[in-house]
Amino acid sequence: MSLYVLLPVLAVLVLFAYLGRLRPFAFPLAVTGLAVAAVLAFFRIGLDHELLAGMAEFDGYAAAFSALLIVATLLTVILLHTPSGKTEVPRGEKIALLVFSLTGAVMLTSYTNLVMLFLGIEILSIPVYVLAGTRKSDAGGNEAALKYFLNGSFATGILLFGIGLVYAGTGQFRLEGILAWTGANAVGIHPLFHLGLLFILFGLAFKVSAAPFHFWTPDVYEGAPTAVTAYMGTVVKVAAFAAFYRLLARALPSVSEAWVWILATLAVLTLLVGNLGALAQGGFKRLMAYAGISHAGYLLIALMATGSMATGALWIYAAAYSAATMIAFVAWARVEEGGGSDRIEAFAGLRSRSPFLAFGLAVAFLSLIGVPPLGGFFGKLLVFGNAVGQGQTALVVFAVLMSAVSLTYYLRPLIQAWFHEAKAAAPLPLRAAEVIVVGTCLLVLLGLAALPDLLISSF
Amino acid sequence: MFTLLMIVVPLAGGLVAMALPGLRARLVASLAAAATALLGLWVALAFGPDLASGAASRLDFSLPWIPGWGLSFSLCLDGLSLALVILTVLVSPVALLVATRKAGPGPDRRSSVLYGLILAMEAGLVGVFAARDAVVFYLFWELALVPIYFIAAFWGGEKRLPVTLKFFVYTVVGSLFMLFGIIYVHGYAGGSFALSSFQAAKLPSGVAPWIMACFALAFAIKMPLFPFHTWQSDTYHEAPAAGTILLAALMAKMGLYGVLRWMLPVFPEAFGAFQTVFVVLGLIGVIWGSLAALAQKDMKRLLAWSSFAHTGLMAAGIFSLGLVGLQGGLVQMLAHGLSIAGLFLAVDIFEERTGSRLIGAVGGLAHRNGAFAVLFMLLVLSAIGLPLTAGFVGEFLLLLSLSKLGLWWALAGGLGVILGAVLYLQWARKSFFGPSPDKVPAFKLRNSEAIALGALAVAGLALGIYPKPLLVLAGPALEAIARIAGAR
């Protein structure tokens, strides 16, 4: 049994259930299926270790990240079922597309072959291109879908070219093979390899929206339906980072001097663009897009270290970031539906309109800032600690300065929600789905504080 | 275990209080605060002699958190920590009382949250004073900040939003630098975050001053130390009375405690090289704060600036590094905490009954309520350091320690003390003495107000007449710090 089979079958079943007479069962089926998949993945119950004749391995790393991605998808599905605004595409198709995309994400956590990396990226992305444009009559949605598609295809092309060049230089697609080859040919590595490596890094940087490859992010986040934006901000980004780390840690540790400085440069640029860009935003989704870019910068720093501590740091950071982002978008979707504008000021008076949501938002943003004892704090502590251990002190100082900048823009929605009075003071009743999603994410943010060691030692 | 209880009881009480309406929230919050205070006093009586004799503290608690990184949830109280914990558990109920005394019987949800936040802050403060692991220290350091930010930004005055934003950003920026410092020292502390490992860490001498600066920045902003004080006056002014009491009486002490516990013992060499700079910054604060306070019309602002001056003197005395200076710093921390909490409560009572907080708007209040005037004067006398009050013991020891460093330093500090006396006595004369006011009718203090003011004033007197138990209790802890910091 493998998730590569389980997830697509689930998607197809959901699709057919929705088209046929079993329509009421489609959503419960998807939720149950994903929940089961998450448990199977996390505890690696009945899942094969070696997949596709050694093209992929479902190891501890894959298990932990897959579980995270499946849970995030599950929460998105719950959100999609009670969508904001009017929908034009039947929900069953959207759920199926999300699960198809998730299959690609799982591949990215478990690949051992560059071909699978490429396939994973494609399978992850293509359904999201469609999802981004599900509001067919909305100009913004169309713009988002087109921009995402064009930029995404371009990035995949660069990635594929890079894979080809690395193959030309080393004769290897397998991560182990590349590791062995770079170990054996430490002197005089063919320039094609370095060029290919650069292209692969750039391709992945596109996917994680690291500067200077971030241009598409704000427009796409703004135009896509909010649940899809939440999916892009969490699952797509985390999956791309999981793939990134797997590549660097499994195949390229012995040539780290060739890529550490590239990552450091990307991280500095990304932190700068993300944090300074977010300062200037008036729209909430654009703010979150730039905030997401800045977090890509911190995660790039996380990629530089290796070992179980580094894996744990990446996972905890990714989980805390995903949970907080998910809460922010749920809150936004609710406020947006309640007749707000797209400005941050739409949060005004959330405290009296929906205390639970305002509390969730406060916890989420405090976690993104890195206030203990929330998950985001442990993410930052571990990531910065590992980087200092690697001798990247200057980079960490810069990241700390940028965290200080981030305070000002994270506090803006928070101050609106808590300390400003609402213009339209109508209460915002929450649906069960929203309570479940926000509650789960809150548990993650608070629970990471209690159990960081359990997670780290599971790698 | 008792240490942990003093954190868990207020935290749990606060969370429960937030969920309850009106009077029930008040009851739960009061019970939790009272239970914590009694627990603190009992711990002091039961374990105090032990700590005073220099034996290893039995008030410790430790739980592994991330063993791979040498991070454990470890708490411990020695004499110094216990003294500040006692101050916290005694002053927090006063802040709670200020918040609850005007509460009506209605199901007022907003007040419930205020009570909960005050208790959460209390838990954070106890944690700061008890933490023996750098990450745990940082955790409680921030846990103490978040509630006070919400208190000030929610229940504060008209300009509360920009003012509290500045306060929050300022302090968190300081904290972030400290976080970086903690992470950096961790690398040299044998992979452990424990205080003892931090003290044993040998940082390269070229880097140590920079890392110390990271810690010093966080502490200097929190105290505040000149020139990082620009948030203080506005924040004290805008925050509601309960919040101001927490800020002035307790939060300012976090910075001083941080210096005593995490800066001097961890960076003795680096501090030695820059000692003069720190002493001068403290003394500038003394003069600057006193002069600024003289120019204030608003009582809250006067107290804010005078608080800044007092903190500057405490910092300068502590930075002078002698055992006497550390003792003076500790006594003065408690003396100032008690008197400033009482004075802010008095200002709030004054404003409620006369409708104004401006000095000179209403005078001769002693004719309307003599008891209030007497209690106020007792607090003022402690604040200006009259003999037989705690303020005298503290200021005397601080100035003595400064004079060992250099006569001019002591003179500068003494000038600040004199200016302080002038400004407090002027204020007392204008507001409480002189002809009786026409507009203000005679009024009575509520029982709770009288008890709180009386307790604070009496505690200040008791500490002034017989400070020995405190000095004995904290003796071994302060001697250890003086030994490490002085033996560079």
Q: Which two tokens stand for residue A378?
A: 């442990």
| H/E run at residue B61 | strand B60-66
- Picking from A111, A118, A76, A68, the residue whose alpha carbon sits closest to that of residue A96 is A76
Residue of A nearest to B193 (CA): A385
Answer whether B179 sits within 8 Å of A415, measured CB to CB. Answer: no
Q: Please indicate if any CB of chain B lies within 8 Å of the CB of A137.
A: no
Q: Where are the beta strands (DSSP E) in A177-329?
A: none
Residue B406: Cβ within 10 Å count: 13
Give backbone dihedrals phi and psi of A21, rounded to 5 degrees, phi first. Answer: -80, -15
Strand partners, B75: B61, B131
Q: Please indicate if any CB of chain A lies within 8 Å of the CB of B64.
A: yes
Q: Please indicate if any CB of chain A lies within 8 Å of the CB of B288.
A: no
Q: Please indicate if any CB of chain B lies within 8 Å of the CB of A209.
A: no
Q: Please indicate if any CB of chain B lies within 8 Å of the CB of A411.
A: yes
A154-182 exposure pattern, b = at least 16 Cβ within 10 A, e = fewer: ebbebbbbbbbbbbebbebbbbebbbebb
Please tell me the predicted confidence (pLDDT) of residue A451.
74
When CB atoms are compared, the residue of A308, A382, A403 closest to B176 is: A403
Answer whether A415 sits within 8 Å of B165, measured CB to CB. Answer: yes
A160 CB contacts (<8 Å, ≥6 apart)?
Answer: A118, A203
Q: Please indicate if any CB of chain A lies within 8 Å of the CB of B418.
A: no
Q: Please indicate if any CB of chain B lies within 8 Å of the CB of A408.
A: yes
In angstroms, the CA A422 to CA A171 distance is: 63
Q: Where are the beta strands (DSSP E) in A28-74?
A: 50-51, 56-57
Q: Number of Cβ pairs closer than 8 Å across A and B?
A: 77
Q: Please indicate if any CB of chain B lies within 8 Å of the CB of A279.
A: no
Asked whether residue A83 carries a pLDDT value surpassing 60, the answer given is: no
pTM for the predicted model, two decimal places: 0.92
Residue B199 distance to chain A (closest CA, Å): 19
Q: What is the mean pLDDT of chain A?
A: 88
Answer whether B187 sits within 8 Å of A403, measured CB to CB. Answer: no
Of the pLDDT bands very low, low, confident and very high (cuts 50, 70, 90), residue A90 is low
Answer whether A407 sits within 8 Å of B161, measured CB to CB. Answer: no
Per-residue pLDDT 10s for chain B (488 aa) are 888 989 999 999 999 988 887 788 888 999 999 999 999 999 988 888 888 887 777 888 888 888 888 888 999 888 899 999 999 999 999 999 888 876 655 556 678 888 899 999 999 999 999 999 999 999 999 999 999 999 998 888 888 888 988 999 889 999 999 999 999 999 888 888 999 899 888 888 889 999 999 999 999 999 899 889 999 888 988 888 889 999 999 999 999 999 999 999 999 888 888 989 999 999 999 999 999 998 888 899 999 999 999 999 999 999 988 888 999 999 999 999 999 999 999 998 888 888 888 887 887 787 788 888 889 899 999 888 888 888 889 899 999 999 888 889 899 999 999 999 999 998 888 888 877 777 777 778 888 888 889 999 999 899 989 988 888 888 888 888 888 887 54
Asked whether residue A458 carries a pLDDT value surpassing 70, the answer given is: no
Q: Please indicate if any CB of chain B lies within 8 Å of the CB of A372.
A: yes
Q: Please indicate if any CB of chain B lies within 8 Å of the CB of A9.
A: no
- Which residue do the tokens 């089926």 mark? A29
Asked whether residue A457 carries a pLDDT value surpassing 70, the answer given is: no
Contacts of B180 in chain A (CB under 8 A): 384, 396-397, 400
Of the pLDDT bands very low, low, confident and very high (cuts 50, 70, 90), residue A340 is low
In angstroms, the CA B30 to CA B262 distance is: 33
A20 CB contacts (<8 Å, ≥6 apart)?
Answer: none
In angstroms, the CA B480 to CA A355 distance is: 49
In angstroms, the CA B454 to CA B447 distance is: 10
When CB atoms are compared, the residue of B142, B153, B169 closest to A372 is: B142
CB B386 within 8 A of CB B302: no
Mean pLDDT for the stretch of residues A380-399:
91
Please tell me the predicted confidence (pLDDT) of residue B488.
45
- Picking from B440, B264, B238, the residue whose alpha carbon sits closest to that of residue B353 is B440
Contacts of B157 in chain A (CB under 8 A): none
* Mutant choice from B15, B66, B169 vs A, greatest count of A C-beta within 10 A: B66
Of the candidate ranges A171-180, A265-274, A306-315, B462-471, the one whose mean pLDDT is the lowest: A306-315
